Structure 1
Amino acid sequence: MTLEQLRQKSHQLPLEPGVYIMKDKTGKVIYVGKAKKLKNRVSSYFMAVESHLPKVYQMVMHVNDFDFIVTQSEFEALVLECSLIKQYSPKYNILLKDDKGYHYIKITPGDWPDIQAAKQKIDDGSTYIGPYTSSFIVTQSVELAKKAFLLPSCKKRFPQDIGRERPCLNYHIKQCCGVCTGKISQAQYREMVDRAIAYITTGADKIIKDLQSEMQRYSENLEFEKAAAVRDQLQSLQRLNERQKVVFESKVDMDAIALAKGEGKVCVVVLKFRQGRLSDKDEYLLKDDGAPADILNEFVARYYTTRADLPKEVLLELELPDRPLIEQLLSERRGSKAELLLPQRGEKLRLVKMAYDNAVTGISYRSRRPAREIAALDELAKLLGLEEPPAYIESYDISNLGESYKVCGMVVFKDGRPYRRAYKRFKIQTVVGQDDYSSMKEALTRRLTRLKNGDADEGFATTPDLILLDGGKGHVSAIRPLVAEMGLQIPVFGMVKDQKHRTRAIALDGSEVALSSFKAAFKLVTTIQDEVHRYAISYQRKLHKNSALKSELTNIPGVGEKRAKQLLGAFQSLEEISLAPVQVLMDRGKLPKSAALAVYNYFNGK
């Protein structure tokens, strides 16, 4: 079907809730969606197609036909949508691939065995514990067992590497028994490994009791060195066990879910807390094809239709469009009431931030960029309601000295870092008096005009993802209409300072958003505001200084404005000009002999 035929067909749909199924020219299902009113939702796909988001545009371009199913309620539509997505795995829906598989704890063979996490069981003579469905639990168990019983976590091989190198830092901070030093016998090492395996298979409580009995026995037999060694293991295990025992006080089963964007990717992390302890982690890398709240909405609905272990509470960082429907779905599948919560403070907010930190780390690991940069841009996007993290940010500040030397500085931050090659400076030319709003408007008009005219200069050729003005809502109100008049869709916000000239908030259109709860974004905005202020004021001072120097030079007979500017360009300072011989003034300063003599005599009292 053509686009017009699809549009006509969509107008025949009922104003009822239901599910629509988009198909390509081969009849393959490429997208499944739900709607409160089928006619309105489906017809919207085939109207103003060019204005759709990239994901939606691509999907519409491949639609050849569609089917629909009317339901009794929007909730039934949600349930049916999730079922059909699971059945067809459409290309343009979020696909949650269960990559967990089976995981094992591996104990290598030989006199000096090692405990490792393994993704599969192979016939290599090793002993395997498992299978486990969670790689998180396997990795955590191995790490905790090694820490508790001071087993080496390095890549050294024993006994080959015993005595070959000095022990590493872990040995000196008492996190490793130091097998490489040669002070640990094979029998002692094997005993420690056996205890670690018992810790993994039976838990800490039984091992603690066994160690306490063993330490008591050694003490009664006056074997104090052995008793001390057991005591050290016991204390290490007790400290570790206490630290891992409770993550938070509530015993309610809950999941914390957060999303991070960066480098064209979306990472969603689910942290599962059961009986007050972190029990598992799920991580998904999804296509970046929409607003964070929409992506999270689709993810949560899909995720809980494929899971059997359902929590009572789901902690989220963003409000979901279908929150009531998903709560109903989760409650019915669970058999008791379940809630989707947006914590604002306390322990539950800390758990959501933990999930968010893990999501940022997931993006950072895959993109090999610092997590702080990804977090800063992602937080800023969420704070300002942007669909994507702003990769290219321009910031502007006005600086003036009275009514003279009015300038505007423009700095650029690319991927969260200063991009100095694109910095620009503007002399304010048309504004009379001290009018920061008009000065800002003049500078932005000149900058955006050069963008519209296709200026090849890198600093003018790039359309910014975000403009930040050093000022409050007055600056924003002056510049936003200008951007709209020029036919550009660039978000514009202000950076507000407190009485001590420190960054305090982001100015919206008539309101402000505090930055205190967004640490990474706060640090980035503060850095941008400090940098644009430094750049603008340094330019203004330079102009003022050059003007003062030029005034002194023009007092010399034979030196006018042009020659004064020539000298300031050729020499670093007035002092350097004053010390220059006549020939140097002629050669470097391009002065005739008479003017060079006048300059020399002026500074040397002749």
Structure 2
Amino acid sequence: IKRCTGPCVGLINERDYQHDIDMSVSLLTGKNQGVISQLVDEMNNAAETLDYEKAAKVRDQIATLKRVTEKQYVSGRKGNTDVIASYLSGGQACVQVFLIRNGINLGGKAFYPKVPENVTSSEVLYAFVTQFYVHNEVPEEILTSEPLPEKSLIEEALSKRASVPVTIKHRTRGERTRWLEMAEENARMSLETRLSSRSGIAQRLDALRRLLEKEEIPERLECFDISHTMGEATVASCVVFNLEGPAKQEYRRYNIEGLTKGDDYAAMQQALERRYLRQLKESAPLPDIIFIDGGKGQLNVAQRVIDDLQIGAVELVGVAKGPERKAGEELIIFDRGKKEMRLQTDSEALHLIQQIRDEAHRFAITGHRARRAKARNQSPLEQIPGVGAKRRQKLLTHFGGFQQIEKAGREELATVPGISKQLAATIYDELHRLKN
């Protein structure tokens, strides 16, 4: 998106990159006015040297920064304050943290710690605060929505860690009261949204249980999809859903290799074998249900893999597109000869199946596009066995470009230092094979 200065590829020198880092640190620590002053100086210097393009660019940066700081401004006070509020509901907890640095609200984050039954908000905050500042910056002031047990001991420990006096308050006035009220409201809204989402997932999982006539709600679902363009850069995806919805940290992609181009059945087989051989080897959790984006052929391939690996407790479900490939017209195909069916468009079970199928499709196609783009940007020389980066550079230096290498004969290629006659023959044969 043309916003990176490209330090890893040498598009910016070390001095300018360090300048960018220093400016970023200043912004993140609330020193916005200092950054604006520096940018104003840069703009004036550029204008004086008649570099009007740079001056206009810096001017736009200043305007953008001023708009951002106007929204962030909350207080004229100096110093650092963390505002921490908790909210409990439905056996779940949310802790909202806001970071105030030199009167600037740098934003916040919601955390969802696991809590035991009958826990109080004060106990949640106490456990959170004692753990949060093990790995995070300790401010001079911490505001909490509830009084903390053993507050004096926590203050003493945090003061020692920060090397400055740290105070914890829950009784506030004026703007600090508004900060706490805002944090409490955010914690409440965040948890209600999360509970609503979890409730929706639970309802859909129960609808799926009834559809499959299971006694218990399935706790782990996995779905596979294959993506390629005319058989090129084939990628298989595996996405995982659990009782809380998508478990994105467990998603996996598989680059499919060594198969006939466009053979989706073989690609599905390879992906399933690689996935579950490893799961069995590592004693990792297996799914209750495996969804396959495809029809009977794909499902039969999956059934053979599952049978060969002897993990028959897993149920297989195929999701075939309708005649016009419209959402809601999917044909649901079951393993072991169960009758296939089309579900009502308002079916919660169908909505869950569509969600996991769509996520598998999205994850597969983004992986395929990335792999295809990488292949298109790759030199044909990189695909030839025995031609590494150094030999590739020697060839390009010797001949002056790829087109000249392509025109060279075997004997000419062999004159390049480090290129044997045998390797020269391989290079010649591979380049002409790729060309044809």
Q: What is the TM-score of this pair, normalised by structure 1?
A: 0.30
Q: What is the TM-score of this pair, normalised by structure 2?
A: 0.41
Q: Rg: which structure is higher?
A: 1
